[in-house]
Structure 1
Amino acid sequence: MRFVMKQEFWSLGDDFVIRDEHGTERYHVDGRVFSFGDKLSLRDTEGNELAFISQRLLSWGPSYQIHRPGYGPVEVAKELFTFFHCRFAVDGPGDEDYEATGDFLDHEYEIHGSRGPAAVVTKRWLSWTDSYGIEIAEGEDPVLHLATAVVIDLVCHDGKKKH
């Protein structure tokens, strides 16, 4: 599955529109403006919340939790001591563990799990707002990997630079 995630230009919070490869809007990410730490809601086009992303404030480095109805929480944390690239641990319930590794400029991320490559996240170079191409492998959970891509953006490309 392929998606394009683009930050909305005229928004107060971290808001994104996510479209499929045909240009059809599939998801919307709504960032809360007045909150302690980042809090975002990933919703389908009907307005149903599919994931809630919240920043963990008392941690050694940038750390977020992804809550999805019917699933246990997923912890996404940036590893602090890596050289020449960023790495995130995506620790979910059971065998739902992944590692996201980025290139030197934080524009290309590969997400790998126990079954191999799960997703690739690519940031566009020249764009007015943050814009990403996201390719998710067959059989993988798109909501989890889209929410993980949102966390990577918050940590690596947000204007406030949380790392």
Structure 2
Amino acid sequence: MRYEVRERLLGVGEDYWIEDERGHKAFLVDGKAMRLRDTFQLKARDGQVLIDIHQKMFALRDTMVIERDGQALAKIKRKRLSLLRNHYRVELVDGTELDVSGKILDREFVVEYDDELLAVISRRWLRVRDTYGVDVIREDADSALLIAVAVCVIHLAEKEGRDD
């Protein structure tokens, strides 16, 4: 399933819709402004909160935490930095690790599990400015989780770029 993400660059709260491949609103990223830590919610089109995303307060490296129904689901942090690509590690609570690598700030990266492609994030097939696509490759994959991972990784990379 392919999703289109149109980011709002200016605006309080950083809210934006994610549309499915038919152009229907599928998810809302609801950024919570004026908080001590970075906080987002991924909501269904009916407003139901599917995933909570927040910055871990006391961590050596910037870390984002993904929760579902009040239970931790995953932690995301930068894995390593090379000259060409950024790498992030997603640690799921069951011990599974996902690898996120590519040009994060250019919105050209992939999410993999054990060298199996789960999602491709790219601007290549879209012509609208400030828009990127999330192509969930496996039909049995958790689309909401993979979109939350993309949102987190982009947020961490942008924050790291501002701090430098």
Q: In which range does the TM-score fall when normalised by the shorter chain? A: 0.7 to 0.9
Q: Distance in 2 between matches of 1:50 and 1:127?
A: 27
Q: Describe the shift of the 1:131–1:61 C-alpha distance in structure 2 as closer, same or farther (beyond 3 A).
A: farther
Q: Secondary structure at the match of 1:156?
A: helix
Spell out the pairing of 1:14-93 with structure 2 (5 A cutoff): 14-69=14-69, 72-93=72-93
User: What per-residue deviation string (whole Å, max 9, x for no partner) do you get for residues 122-163 of structure 1?
Assistant: 1469865x4210100221100110001111221223697356
Q: Distance in 2 between matches of 1:17 and 1:41?
A: 12
Identical residues among aligned pairs (%): 23
Q: Which runs of 5+ in 2 are unaligned?
A: none
Match of 2:140 in 1: 139
Runs (4 or more) in structure 1 with deviation over 6 Å come to none
Q: Distance in 2 between matches of 1:140 and 1:155?
A: 23
The total of aligned residue pairs comes to: 162
Amino acid at match of 1:147: A
Q: Describe the shift of the 1:83–1:115 C-alpha distance in structure 2 as closer, same or farther (beyond 3 A).
A: closer
Kept in 2: contact 1:155–1:162 (CA 8 A): no
The Cα RMSD (Å) is 2.6
- How far is the alpha carbon of 1:3 from its aligned partner? 0.1
Q: Secondary structure at the match of 1:152?
A: helix
Q: Describe the shift of the 1:161–1:131 C-alpha distance in structure 2 as closer, same or farther (beyond 3 A).
A: farther
Q: Which runs of 5+ in 1 are unaligned?
A: none
Q: Distance in 2 between matches of 1:56 and 1:146?
A: 19
Greater share of residues in strand: 2
Kept in 2: contact 1:85–1:106 (CA 8 A): no
